Structure 1
Amino acid sequence: MKTRTGLVVGGCLLMAYAVVGALTDADLTPGGVLIFLAAVLVGHDIVWMAAVLAVGVALTRVPPRGRTTVRTAAITAAAVTVVGLPLALGFGRAADNSSVLPLPYCRNLVAVLLAIVGATLLACVVRRRGATDRKETERPADGRPVIGGR
């Protein structure tokens, strides 16, 4: 409970600092701030949360044994995409300066996402194979199931 209280107090202090800084800024345009806050609200609550909920519903179809692995891959892919997509789309690239964003970021983003998918599939296959190997070693030679840990 002490940690939560500390985080809430710290967050309130940071927000108070931001509000005081905004109110004392002579160049502040309240209309622009309101538009920005509305865009953040719409972007987060309508677009991002809808996508997260849709992925969550889709992950319920994954068998429980591999659900944690697939969930970890989805979170990793989302983080990589959020960071890499602006580079892949070329935001900030200048036509007259070839040294700005010189690499093929779109291809590299696809390669990293494919590596995440491959590692996830490999982890699921290894986990499944390990589970079947354990089941085979738990049964006696005549194929009867082990009862009571004998």
Structure 2
Amino acid sequence: MRTRTGLVVGGCLLMAYAVVGALTDADLAPGGVLLFLAAVLVGHDVVWMAAVLTVGAALTRVPPRCRPAVRTAAITAAAVTVVGLPLALGFGRSADNASVLPLPYGRNLVAVLLVVAGTTLLACVVPVRRRKAAADRKESERPAEGRP
């Protein structure tokens, strides 16, 4: 409870600092700030939350033992994609300067996402195989019925 209170108070202080700083800025364009805040609100509540709720609904079909791994993979893939997609699409790349964004970001983004998917698959498959092997061992160790 103390941690939550401390975080709320800290967040309020940071917001107050930002508002005071914005109001005392001579170059502040209130229309631009309001447009930006509206875009962030729409982007978060309409686009991002709809995507999160859709993925969450899809995750209910995943077996319960795999849900934590799949949930972690989905969050990781979303974060990596949000950061890497602008580079993969080439935003900011200048045609006359080869040193700007010189790496194959699209290929690398796909490689990272495949590593995340492969790790998730292993996290779901390996425990299942271990449980089956342990159950088979227990079954083979049982004495046959009718024997003393």
Task: State if a TM-score over 0.5 links the two structures.
Answer: yes
Q: Tell me the percent identity.
A: 78
Matching residue of 1:69: 69
Matching residue of 2:95: 95
Secondary structure of the structure 1 residue equivalent to 2:101: coil
Deviations 1:26-76 (A, max 9, x none): 111111001000000000000000000000011100011111111111111
Query: TM-score when scaled to structure 1?
Result: 0.90
Task: Measure, in 2, the Cα distance between the counterparts of 1:142 and 1:62.
Answer: 37
Task: Measure, in 2, the Cα distance between the counterparts of 1:79 and 1:141.
Answer: 53
Matching residue of 2:129: 129
Tell me how large the CA RMSD over aligned residues is: 1.3
| Partner AA of 1:28 in structure 2 | L
Count of matched residue positions in the alignment of Structure 1 and Structure 2? 143
| Partner AA of 1:83 in structure 2 | V
Matching residue of 2:19: 19
Task: Measure, in 1, the Cα distance between the counterparts of 2:107 and 2:143.
Answer: 52
Task: Measure, in 2, the Cα distance between the counterparts of 1:96 and 1:26.
Answer: 37
Rate the CA distance shift 1:86–1:15 in 2: closer, same or farther, 3 A.
same
Task: Measure, in 1, the Cα distance between the counterparts of 2:6 and 2:121.
Answer: 41
Matching residue of 1:148: none
Query: TM-score when scaled to structure 2?
Result: 0.91
Rate the CA distance shift 1:127–1:106 in 2: closer, same or farther, 3 A.
same
**Consecutive unaligned residues in structure 2, runs of 5 or more:** none
Matching residue of 1:117: 117
